[in-house]
Amino acid sequence: MSEHAHPNYVKIWGILLVLLVVSIVGPMFEIQAVTLVTAFGIAFVKAYLVVKNFMHLNVEPRFLIYMLATCLAFMGLFYAGVAPDVMAATGSNWVKPSFVAALDPYADDGGVLGH
Amino acid sequence: MRPIANTRDVTGVPTGRLAIWWVIGSEIVIFGGLLASYLMYRLANPGWAGHAAHTNVVAGGFNTFVLLTSSLFAVLAHQAAEAGNGKKAAKLLIATTVGGLIFLTVKGFEWTHEIQLGYTITANTFWSFYYTAAGLHACHVIAGMIVMLIVAAKARRGVDLHHVELIGIYWHFVDVVWIFLFPLLYIAK
């Protein structure tokens, strides 16, 4: 078991709940920038607080942080490799057949898979 | 505490805890791949905002509150175990498990209502992602609850108290995944 100083967990829980309320109320203004910051920006802050204070990653050896960061980097690599195909209808000398049928491929509520 | 294999320390981290971090690393890739796929489809398809409008923000928000609170109980259980108080740790782990049960119950009502409205896993790609991501997460909640009850039973007898921290790390990760699922599936309209 790791031996380290314990922060005030109830206080951190309180901060997390305040952030939760902000992340719900913020998007109600229906302003894109506010939604991005309050819903998604705050999600990163909440995750940071949980990882640091509840999972105690900050007191682990650095190689563990690098290992987890590598896994996150692979997620980014996956996104970068696949997104150009998923998110684009055409490219140099190629057209996605599923996009040919309609002028606006995203008009169908079914989404890009064509359901 | 018994001197068993997963308390050995070769890398500066007891082997049991190192194993949990490797589990978390593999889970990052599993959930990361799923969420990255959802994100690229969502960004390419503004029409999905209309589908997301049918998800229940109140239920999602309440479940976030439940998971955050259960995480508090899990970390307090770790603190109690570290102080050698196995009985208190066991009680807090059971409270954490109850949190998981409440989460799943709310999810059950939520899904029943959505399915009754015709929003099934085959309705369209958005709902496919919705049920797959939330379902995979729910499977992790169930697995965590089962392991937590086993750890609690042992902690009550003062056995393997270091396991309390290990299941706690896993549970916090499940919480972190939900922290990202909530805005992606419920908030972004």
- What are the structure tokens assigned to B139, written together? 């499977």
Among candidate residues B35, B172, B169, B60, the one with its CA nearest the CA of residue B110: B60
- Residue A113: what pLDDT? 44
- Residue A27: what pLDDT? 87
> Which of A15, A54, A66 would best serve as a mutation to test chain B binding (most B beta carbons within 10 A)?
A54
C-alpha to C-alpha distance for A113 and A97, rounded to whole angstroms: 11
Residues of B in contact with A13 (CB under 8 A): 68-69, 71-72
Measured in degrees and rounded to the nearest 5, phi and psi for residue A94 equal -145, 145
Name the residue facing B179 among A46, A106, A115 (closest C-beta): A46
Segment A88-110, tens digit of pLDDT: 777 777 777 665 444 444 444 44
C-alpha to C-alpha distance for B183 and B180, rounded to whole angstroms: 6
Mean pLDDT of chain A: 82
C-alpha to C-alpha distance for B64 and A17, rounded to whole angstroms: 9
Which domains, and CATH codes, for chain B? 13-187 (1.20.120.80)
* Residue type for position B151: V
Measured in degrees and rounded to the nearest 5, phi and psi for residue B14 equal -55, 140
ipTM for the predicted complex comes to 0.91
pLDDT reading at A38 higher than 80: yes
For B6, the enclosing helix (H) or strand (E) is: none
Segment A42-71, tens digit of pLDDT: 999 999 999 999 999 998 999 999 999 999
- Residue B6: what pLDDT? 60
C-alpha to C-alpha distance for B19 and B25, rounded to whole angstroms: 10
Mean pLDDT of chain B: 92
Using pLDDT thresholds of 50, 70 and 90, give the confidence band for residue A36: confident
Residues of A in contact with B187 (CB under 8 A): 23-24, 27, 35, 39
